[in-house]
Structure 1
Amino acid sequence: MRYSDTDRIYDELLLTRIQAGDRRAGERLAARWYPRLMRTACRLLRDEEQARAAVQEAWSGICKGWRGLRDPSRFPAWAYTILHRKCADQIGKNQKNRSLHIVAAETMETSVAPRGEDKVTIDQAFDRLSDDHRTAALLYFGEGLTIKEIAEVTGTAIGTAKSRLFHARQQLKAALNDEPIEGE
């Protein structure tokens, strides 16, 4: 689901109301954003429990900081930046403890039921991407963020974000067309 201009405007309105003290607006924003953040975290971490924990931590940080966000139009990039940091922290922990990573991967494989051959093929193509390329592709294709917002979320230059998205596109296209991928 792409992030439309209408969605952006509505989220800006909700954030403005939150900053004015409207608790219900916060609940509405949480209801709108939790599924999006969860979807992105699941794809980055490849483990539902770790993703849920990362989203909870990210949402806690978002709630603590949203009153200080001066430009409500920056909310999507700001929220994904917080989530990206939480997921990166978890990936770092997983890399330090390989046995935990293996158990999490096995759990994810058995707990996620494929929803059609195309979904499986696309998921496998995304799984073959590097973490950086996967993040760029997920934020662009899955969440509708701009190159500038992706650069902000990942803490990279715009050129780096463009390059990562370009390479992710090439690799996804090759994987989905059953072509050999460079470097394999």
Structure 2
Amino acid sequence: MQSKDFFGKDRFWNILLETKMYKEAFSSKEGVMSILLSVATSTFFIVVVRGSSVGSFQSLMFPLIGILLGGGFGLLGFLVGGLGILVGSISDEMIDVIDRGEKFKYLLGIMFRFYYDGAILFFLISSCVLDYLALMTLDKGINVWLVCGFAFVTSYFFWYSLMLSVMLLGTSIRLIILRHHMRPKQH
């Protein structure tokens, strides 16, 4: 595919469907590992909840949510900076060569990983805000299953976004390989 095939179809959902990256959320190694770590994290929170009063559980969770939010925003900064550096390192000539070789979809897939990880971080940050609001409304008792559900969703987005951010290092290496492979041959 060439860049012209994506003209006007450059929104998140269009590119997500074209690259089929959504399948990785549960079937990739990172997705499966995130699910397993989320189950372990949820189990830990169930153990903590069963032995805690509402006040002690809140005093434990509020700082943890703050740390997650700070880390999420930090990772978002990493993504913006990394994408800026990568986009700036690709010349128009290189894009033309990739386009003529009809490999633009590969380049788009590499670059879209930053956007995709940013979307996962958005869900992490949103989940943390919802967790925080839910904790503020606790006054009589703690619903163990609700805590388990919140813990699973938030921890999944945390673990998955963390792994995706680390995997972006490999993505950067793949971009170097693609640039080298697609460069014009010198005679």
More helix by share: 2
Structure with the larger RCO, 1 or 2 (CA within 8 Å, 6+ apart): 2
